[in-house]
Amino acid sequence: MLSHKSKDMVFNFFENAKNLEIGGAISNVVRDMNEWYSFDHIIAGNARLKIVAKDRELGILDHLFEGGGLSWIVYVRIINNGHGSTTTWTFLKPDGLTDEHFEEQLKDLM
């Protein structure tokens, strides 16, 4: 994702999982005392995520997603690009999920 916003501004936005409601794939985000964010996901139903690696200077904001009986880490990188920032999400298919179902979930995120 390309943005005209700085790396720090984008990092601040994604650091708060409540902001992910804006995309429409999740709703009713609630943060609990154990650093987990619980929410309703359009495919997985009741789900949650937790930031598992965070480094503001390097733009690392990886999170563990659990939902639909599966869990996986989503690797997020936010870098300066000279005109703002670029954010990338790397999704690795978890064991137990068919290629078709994995691709369907990714399509709903785009």
Specify the pLDDT at position 107.
Answer: 66
Its pTM stands at 0.81
Higher pLDDT, 20 or 82: 82
Instruction: Give the tens place of pLDDT for each residue, 41-81.
Output: 767 778 899 999 999 999 999 999 888 888 889 999 999 99
pLDDT at residue 16 is higher than 60 = yes
Closest by CA to 41, choosing from 28, 51, 60, is 28
Share of the chain above pLDDT 90, in %: 42
How far is the C-alpha of 88 from the C-alpha of 71, rounded, in Å? Answer: 19
pLDDT at residue 40 is higher than 90 = no
pLDDT at residue 110 is higher than 70 = no
For residue 20, what is the enclosing H or E element? Answer: none
Specify the pLDDT at position 52.
Answer: 94
Q: What is the DSSP letter of 84?
A: S
Q: Which CATH number fits domain 2-109: 3.30.530.20, 3.90.650.10, 3.40.462.20, 3.10.129.10?
A: 3.30.530.20
Q: What are the sequence ranges of the domains in the chain?
A: 2-109
